[in-house]
């Protein structure tokens, strides 16, 4: 059973303490979403869209792309729950999570998982990949999470910070749902029970 040190800088894998920055998650099991075959269509559409550099065809794909991105987000959240369970065990389940979905060549995707006792920020190895390393492990009382966006809610971003270090998880309106993360973090930080729908 894994656990993190109080400062979040070390992880106990059951036999050895490993620096959090050195954790490399193994290949995660296939998710239910993936097994159902529902990932194939969104994956094809997202691959097609990412290589499309013309604005007019991009507008044609906008609504199907948003639906595909919502499906992709669901898949990433299932992976996030598996990664959290791998690190903390089944007794400390993910209460809420959120992920960015961007082209890996632009920047690495990040994802956040909130449990009753931890905030975890994961690095994702690629657009079609999985959570692979841990960028942050901290107690809810030691971490600050806030939602920022531009005018009219454009470019919503979760800003997660501990001390003077910050991680940003950005999203697309209509796909990104930061509210459950904020609510779970607030409740975990204050010790109030989280009622997951």
| pLDDT (tens place) for every residue of the chain, 197 residues total | 689 999 999 999 999 999 999 999 999 988 887 888 777 776 676 666 655 544 444 554 556 667 777 888 888 999 999 999 999 998 999 999 999 876 544 456 899 999 999 999 999 887 777 899 999 999 999 999 999 987 766 788 999 999 999 999 988 888 889 999 999 999 999 986 555 54
Domains of the chain, by residue range, sit at 3-190
pLDDT at residue 192 in the model: 64
Report whether CATH 2.30.29.30 matches the domain 3-190.
yes
- Alpha carbon distance 109, 185 (integer Å): 21
pLDDT at residue 22 in the model: 95
Q: Which helix (H) or strand (E) holds 159?
A: strand 157-162
pLDDT at residue 97 in the model: 97
Classify residue 179 as left (phi > 0), alpha (psi -120 to 50) or beta.
Answer: alpha
Task: Identify the CA nearest to 142 among candidates 167, 123, 159, 117.
Answer: 117
Q: Against a cut of 0.85, is the pTM above it?
A: no
E strands in 8-139: 10-12, 17-19, 96-99, 109-114, 119-124, 131-138
pLDDT at residue 55 in the model: 46
Residue 144 and residue 114 in contact, taking contact as beta carbons nearer than 8 Å: no
């Amino acid at each position: 059973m894994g656990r993190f040190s109080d400062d979040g800088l070390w992880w106990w894998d059951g036999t050895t303490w490993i620096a959090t920055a050195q954790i490399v998650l193994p290949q995660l099991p296939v998710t239910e979403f993936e097994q159902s075959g529902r990932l194939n269509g969104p994956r094809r559409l997202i691959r097609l869209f990412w290589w499309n550099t013309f604005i007019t065809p991009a507008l044609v794909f906008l609504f199907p792309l948003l639906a595909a991105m919502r499906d992709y987000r669901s898949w990433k959240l299932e992976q996030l729950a598996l990664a959290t369970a791998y690190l903390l065990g089944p007794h400390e389940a993910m209460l809420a999570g959120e992920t960015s979905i961007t082209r890996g060549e632009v920047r690495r995707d990040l994802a956040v998982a909130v449990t009753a006792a931890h905030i975890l920020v994961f690095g994702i190895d690629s657009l079609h990949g999985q959570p692979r390393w841990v960028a942050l492990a901290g107690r809810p009382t030691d971490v600050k999470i806030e939602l920022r966006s531009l005018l009219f809610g454009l470019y919503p971003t979760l800003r997660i910070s501990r001390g003077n270090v910050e991680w940003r998880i950005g999203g697309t309106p209509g796909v990104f749902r930061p509210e459950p993360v904020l609510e779970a973090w607030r409740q975990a930080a204050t010790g109030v029970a989280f009622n997951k729908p």
